[in-house]
Amino acid sequence: MLIPFFFQLRFAGVPVSITEFLTLLEALEAGVAAASAEDFYHLSRACLVKDERHFDRFDRAFAAHFKGAEELFEALLASIPQEWLQRMGERTLSEEEKAKIEALGGWDKLIETLKKRLEEQKGRHQGGSKWIGTGGTSPFGAYGYHPEGIRIGQDESRNRRAVKVWDRREFRNLDDTIELGTRNIKIALRKLRRFAREGAADQLDLDGTIDSTARNAGLLDLKFQPERHNAIKVLLFLDVGGSMDDHVRVCEELFSAARSEFKHLEYFYFHNFVYESLWKDNRRRHVEKIPTLEVMRTYGHDYKLIFVGDATMSPYEIVQPGGSIEHWNEEAGSAWMQRLVRTWPHHVWLNPEPQQRWDYTPSVQLTRELLEDRMFPLTLGGLDQAIKALH
């Protein structure tokens, strides 16, 4: 049962390895998780997911995979102690509502009906007016409107919550706090420099050592100073043509000014969206095309990939094969984008368009989804965050 789950996770883009999977099995064997589904969810998440950015993918894959195994949870649900339900109800229901329950035959009746329904019901249920589930008007379930409803699966239920924990998808917006702020290019440059200076290896400060040894009456006194080395490699993908040209120039200037701080800095151009080829010289873009695959092979995973573009276009240019406005593309831009972000896990998209407008452009939304929200405004605050996201 777990091996397909493993592959489902990998398919969903959660980078799980065999080591981690074996750890999970080991933990299960050691009895870390009791028999509850929620325990299993928490345990498998702690074992298999190592980055909160992937929590949402994990939740979705988990939900998709264990949908078929709902009976398992159902058995758990059936074992909710009766007193608990009663206590719960007394706390959440008003006097008036309690009176209505009496009208339905009182608590005992309600519980009895609940048990009967549990037996009848197979699988998870949402909406509707009879079955136990969420969002409906049945007396049983969560988020419903029925006045005498028993809240199963809301805050207090230890067992039932399991189904919901991953359905809730709380980690969707985990890295969605984006700030705006504008000042001049110099500060931006300083930020880029800070980004470029990495590492803190110590090296001998020869002058300092001689000086302080002399002061020490000839007894050796070593002095060290932090070493600076530029280890950052950057790939810059710039959108050219049309409205973007001004912004692209600013960006190019910015990065070339900081060029000496990077170990490597490579430019490539694209138009509107990335497809199977890029080019290095914009004047000869139709002659000297470089296959994207070649770029992917040439530059290692440790490169940081920075897109600059407004991501504003027809959504077809992203999702449809042949959607490009310049040529016939065999594969959709989204497929290429997915390949790119997998090749270079450190990636951001800088968008010169004001952030308020992003929400109104479907293609920006699409791009953001493809990049897992690593899109930042081309402003000081945005740069700051982009740099943070790149680390």
| Ordered DSSP codes for 173-195 | GTT---------HHHHHHHHHHH
Nearer to another protein, 95 or 202 (CB): 202
**Residues 328, 353: contact at Cβ < 8 Å?**
no
The distance of closest approach from Cβ of residue 91 to another protein in the complex, given in angstroms and rounded to an integer, is: 13
DSSP state of 54: G
Binder of another protein out of 180, 210, 293, 325 (CB under 8 A): 180
- Long-range (24+ apart) CB contacts under 8 A made by 27-32 are none
Which residues on neighbouring strands pair with residue 347, listed in sequence order?
305
Determine the interface stretch with another protein among 23-31, 128-136, 314-322, 336-344 (rule: CB under 8 A). Answer: 23-31
Which of 68, 71, 66 has its CA nearest to residue 121?
Answer: 71
Shortest Cβ 29–another protein spacing (Å): 10
Name which of 171 and 316 has its Cβ closer to another protein: 171
CB nearer to another protein: pick between 33 and 63: 33
In angstroms, give the least distance from the CB of 199 to another protein: 5
Query: Distance between CA 373 and CA 376 in Å, rounded?
Result: 8
Pick from 83, 96, 202, 330 the residue near another protein by CB under 8 A.
202
Select the span of 14-22, 61-69, 132-140, 276-284 touching another protein (CB under 8 A).
14-22
Stretch that binds another protein, among 37-45, 94-102, 111-119, 268-276 (CB under 8 A): 37-45
- In the DSSP assignment, the letter for residue 226 is E
Please, which residues bridge with residue 308 across strands?
Answer: 238, 350
Binding another protein (rule: CB under 8 A), the pick from 12, 14, 37, 49 is: 49
Helix (H) or strand (E) holding 363: helix 362-370
What amino acid is encoded at 103 in this protein? A
Neighbours of 118 (CB within 10 A): 17
Q: How far is the CB of 82 from another protein (least distance, A)?
A: 23
Q: Is 6 in the site for another protein (CB under 8 A)?
A: no
Q: Which residues contact 144 (CB under 8 A, 6 or more apart)?
A: 134, 135, 136, 137, 138
For the record, the structure tokens of 385 come out as 């965050």
How many chain residues bind another protein (CB under 8 A)? 44
Query: Which segments of 104-216 does DSSP mark as H helices, in order?
Result: 106-120, 161-168, 185-196, 206-215
Smallest gap from Cβ 19 to another protein, in A, equals 5
The CA distance from 74 to 66, in Å, is 12
Does residue 23 interact with another protein by CB under 8 A?
A: yes
* From 36-44, 188-196, 245-253, 261-269, span contacting another protein (CB under 8 A): 36-44
**Among 12, 11, 78, 69, residue whose Cα is nearest residue 40:** 69
Shortest gap between Cβ of 88 and another protein (angstroms)?
Answer: 14
For another protein, the binding residues (CB under 8 A) are: 15, 17, 19-20, 23, 26-27, 30-33, 38-39, 42-43, 45-47, 49-52, 55, 155, 158, 170-171, 179-180, 198-202, 218-222, 226, 231, 346, 388, 391
